[in-house]
Amino acid sequence: MREMWRAALVIARRDFTAVVLSRTFILFLLGPLLPILIGMVFAGFTDKISSTDLRPVVGIAMPASEAVRLERAYDRLTERMGDQALVRVRRVPMTPAPRVQLARVDSAVVAILSGTVARPVLTGKAEDLDKLQGDLSLIASAAQAENTLRMVQVQREEVATSNGAQAQGRLQIGRVAQIVMFFLTILLAGMILSNLVEEKTNKIIEILAAAVPIDAIFLGKLMAMLAMSFVGIAFWGGTAFAIFLALGGNGAAVPVPAVGWPVFLALAVIYFAMAYTLLGSLFLGIGAQAATVREVQTLNMPVTMGQMMIFFFASYAIDHMGKAPEIAAAIFPFSSPFTMIARAAQDDALWPHLLAIVWQALFVGLIIRVGVLLFRRHVMQSGGRWWKQLFRPSTG
Amino acid sequence: MNGDTPGLAPAPAYALEGHGLVKTFGSFRAVDGVDIAVPAGTIYGVLGPNGAGKTTLLRTLLGIIDPDEGRRSLLGAEQPLRMARQVGYLPEERGLYPSMKAYEAIAFMGALRGLPLRQGRGRAREMLEGHGMGAAINKPIRQLSKGMAQTVQLFGTIIHEPRLIVLDEPFSGLDAINQEKLERLIREQAQRGVTVLFSTHVIAHAERLCERVAIVAGGRIRFEGTVDDARAQLRSQVRLRTRASDGAWRAALPGDAIQEEGAWHFALPDGGIEPLLRALLDGDAGIESLSIERPGLHDAFVAIAGAAAAQQMRDDAEREALV
């Protein structure tokens, strides 16, 4: 076993330096930052895009006095409910008929409210009417009530803590952690698919296989790619933190996860490593079967879809803490790290994490072993029934 | 690295052994019941025509692939990778990382076999400088010529000072000068007590270097022994040219004698050349030239491998007829 780890380290060191010292690694590091940098450069442009209001606009085709009543009611309601709560309204001519106006090519409204405040008529497509008539009924009712509608003042009573708010905050942390972990995994683990192609095309695999167990080759490659990922994450994380500080971000406003920030961050690192090695060992095993880069490229799509499904499963489980879906997602090895990091945000018990990490590590070992045996069987054309050799020592 | 491995067992009499080895790919038996024993400290050649099963046999013995049947032992260990630190292997299909510098590639191959990287880098520089390749030390492999890259790989094979070196078709792709250098290197290693096993289909190298050879054809070992033993498989060939074309002396020629381009060719008779010589002199044959040629390893190889191939074809035909 010691010899296998030694050999794995030799392979890992070679792969790590080959990747990190290459010129393309700079592009790899800068790649995820490009959208942010471009966003900062074109800040004004993106602000404009983000402020573009996509709410539907309803035309008001009423006599001026009626239209004014509606607009006043609209302003009173948005004052209480916020800008984005209601549909937008705009005055349009009373003639021609709404039906004719809507049929025009240059029509800028989705529906037209005509008639009077007391008897409004909404003209538009059925599905639009379904969506709009509630809002317009509310505005018309407020306009009808006019000064008789009295807004009730809600009394405020502030508290320092709220378990409900804390639970919501922790849920949000869990979700964010899941999403970040998922994106990092999808960005980084996919690269492992093509990891053995170089050795196969350059015939180096023969030299490696004669000198060290294939388990060590797989393990070394995973270690190298994981180390490379940590370099990337440290760089991106450091940059993000620097931007956060530069923008005067206030860390005190962020809710605290159930296990506390230090343990949560440590668990995040461990779970990322587990998610990465679980998927990575699977990808390495699959990619090792591919003979060419073209085959690896073909495998990319189903592999990405598989990752998405795992993420959706873990994402669904987060709302069902302690229930069957969450337990199933925690047990299923590939979704386990994503589920458990969300659990760390919401529950302070530490023992399930210990159990989960051991369970996930076991599966990493098992997947590597199966991948190795399939590689020996199908690529090296060696060995008999692979499952019979699953637990034999890997010493050739 | 000799003797560096803790708890190393005493050196076995045979560096490599295989008993009843069988390896099939689908329905094709690449290695078909091979028994082989390579004495420690010798230069041993595995000879055979292309596709004879030499590479599969070496890969099986080294533990790169597992046999379907049979046992193997490498430096006394039944699990070959346990002895990986004591073995150097140059595969037939050469492979190096193209972006690696020459000295790094050599040190990396040593590190795979347990040699510390720092030590390996130092040794690699010395080796390259010692062989007039100082300028290539820091060059990436992709910038080296094919011959230089092969030399780098060869150095990577021996940098950790193994007890057993296995070279698969080491001379292929090398020019005459580099072939000569490689032969010298093999002899130097053997003088240090290292067992060298190599495969080739170019018999001249084996004839010059090997103490023992195995001739492989159709996945089976058709001959195993010393080079002299192989030669002894064939009788010496007599070539006789006479002035007289006919006479009583012709009765003394062996029955299998054939005449080609005015000369008689036949295998040296069991009773030696003297009775024939006497008959030629008594019968006034007028001897123009008489030569007795001892067969070379090449002749033995062609005869043994050719007979095996013919036998194989007969076996295949019989099998097909049965089917």
Residue in the structure block whose two tokens are 């007039």:
B132
Residue in the structure block whose two tokens are 């089917």:
B323
At residue A130, does pLDDT exceed 70?
yes
Which ipTM value was assigned to this complex?
0.80
- Cβ contact A202–B96 (<8 Å): yes
- State the Cα torsion B115-B121-B123-B125 to the nearest 10°: 160
- Cβ contact B98–A212 (<8 Å): no
pLDDT digits (tens, 9 = 90+) for B94-144: 889 999 999 999 999 999 999 999 999 999 999 999 988 999 999 999 999
Residues 353-382 of A with CB under 8 A from B: 376, 380-382
- Cβ contact A212–B97 (<8 Å): no
Residue in the structure block whose two tokens are 């050469």:
B94
Distance separating alpha carbons of residues B31 and B18, to the nearest angstrom: 11
Residue A212 contacts B, CB cutoff 8 Å: yes
The pLDDT of residue B3 is: 39
The pLDDT of residue A294 is: 79
At residue A262, does pLDDT exceed 60?
yes
Find chain B residues with C-beta within 8 A of A384's C-beta.
66, 68
The pLDDT of residue A391 is: 61
- Cβ contact A396–B99 (<8 Å): no
The pLDDT of residue A389 is: 62
Distance separating alpha carbons of residues A206 and B93, to the nearest angstrom: 8
- Cβ contact B95–A383 (<8 Å): no
Distance from CA of B139 to the nearest CA of A (A): 15
B241, amino acid identity: R
CB-based contact A364:A223 (threshold 8 Å): no
Find chain B residues with C-beta within 8 A of A212's C-beta.
81, 84, 112
At residue B282, does pLDDT exceed 60?
yes
* A108 burial via Cβ count (<10 Å: 0-12, 13-18, 19+): exposed
For B140-143, which contacts have Cβ atoms below 8 Å and span 24 or more sequence positions? Answer: B140/B98, B140/B99, B140/B100, B140/B101, B140/B102, B141/B96, B141/B97, B141/B98, B141/B99, B141/B100, B141/B101, B141/B102, B141/B105, B142/B98, B142/B99
Of A8, A16, A9, nearest to A230 (Cα)? A16
Distance from CA of A370 to the nearest CA of B (A): 17
At residue B175, does pLDDT exceed 70?
yes
Other C-beta atoms closer than 10 Å to the C-beta of B222 total 21
Would you put residue A291 in left (φ > 0), alpha (ψ -120 to 50) or beta?
alpha
**How many angstroms separate the Cα of B288 from the Cα of each of B239, B263, B269, B280?**
11, 10, 20, 11
The 8-class DSSP code of residue B15 comes to E
The pLDDT of residue A158 is: 78
Other C-beta atoms closer than 10 Å to the C-beta of A180 total 15
Rounded average pLDDT over A187-216: 83
Distance separating alpha carbons of residues A216 and B197, to the nearest angstrom: 27
- Cβ contact A383–B99 (<8 Å): no
Most confident range (mean pLDDT) of A184-193, B102-111, B300-309 is B102-111
pTM tops 0.90, yes or no? no
Residue A23 contacts B, CB cutoff 8 Å: no
- Cβ contact A202–B97 (<8 Å): yes
Among the partner residues B81, B84, B95, nearest to A202 by beta-carbon distance: B95
Distance separating alpha carbons of residues A101 and B78, to the nearest angstrom: 91
Q: Quote the radius of gyration of chain A (alpha carbons, Å).
A: 30
The pLDDT of residue B2 is: 42
The pair of three-digit structure tokens given for residue A132, joined into one six-digit string: 């709009």
Of A3, A15, A6, A11, nearest to A231 (Cα)? A15
Average pLDDT, chain A: 85
At residue A393, does pLDDT exceed 80?
no
- State the Cα torsion A123-A126-A127-A130 to the nearest 10°: 70
Q: What is the DSSP string of A138-166?
A: HHHHHHHHGGG--PPPPPP---S--HHHH
Residue in the structure block whose two tokens are 């379904």:
A130
Find chain B residues with C-beta within 8 A of A11's C-beta.
112
**Furthest C-alpha separation in chain B:** 80
Residues 248-267 of A with CB under 8 A from B: none
The pLDDT of residue A49 is: 52
CB-based contact B163:B194 (threshold 8 Å): yes
The pair of three-digit structure tokens given for residue B160, joined into one six-digit string: 């950790």
CB-based contact B235:B202 (threshold 8 Å): no
pLDDT digits (tens, 9 = 90+) for A217-249: 999 999 999 999 999 999 988 888 888 888 777
- Cβ contact A382–B65 (<8 Å): yes
Distance separating alpha carbons of residues A322 and A308, to the nearest angstrom: 23
| Edge-to-edge order in the sheet of strand B237-242 | B258-260, B263-267, B237-242, B287-293
Find chain A residues with C-beta within 8 A of B79's C-beta.
393, 395-396
Distance separating alpha carbons of residues B96 and B90, to the nearest angstrom: 11
The 8-class DSSP code of residue B221 comes to E
Chains A, B: CB contacts within 8 A come to: 86
Residue B261, helix vs strand vs coil: coil
The pLDDT of residue B144 is: 92
- Cβ contact B79–A396 (<8 Å): yes
List all residues 6 or more positions away from B52 whose beta carbon is below 8 Å from its beta carbon.
Answer: B201, B216, B217, B218, B219, B305
The pLDDT of residue B1 is: 43
Could you give phi then psi for residue A345, rounded to 5 degrees?
A: -75, -25
| Percentage with pLDDT > 70 across chain A | 91
The pLDDT of residue B6 is: 46
Distance separating alpha carbons of residues A93 and A106, to the nearest angstrom: 14
pLDDT digits (tens, 9 = 90+) for A355-382: 999 999 999 999 888 888 888 888 877 7
Most confident range (mean pLDDT) of A147-156, A261-270, B290-299 is A261-270
- Cβ contact B66–A205 (<8 Å): no
The pLDDT of residue A387 is: 59
- Cβ contact B108–A206 (<8 Å): no
The 8-class DSSP code of residue A192 comes to G
Average pLDDT, chain B: 88
Of A197, A206, A200, A213, nearest to A6 (Cα)? A213
At residue B4, does pLDDT exceed 50?
no
pLDDT digits (tens, 9 = 90+) for B9-42: 566 889 999 999 999 988 888 999 999 999 999 9
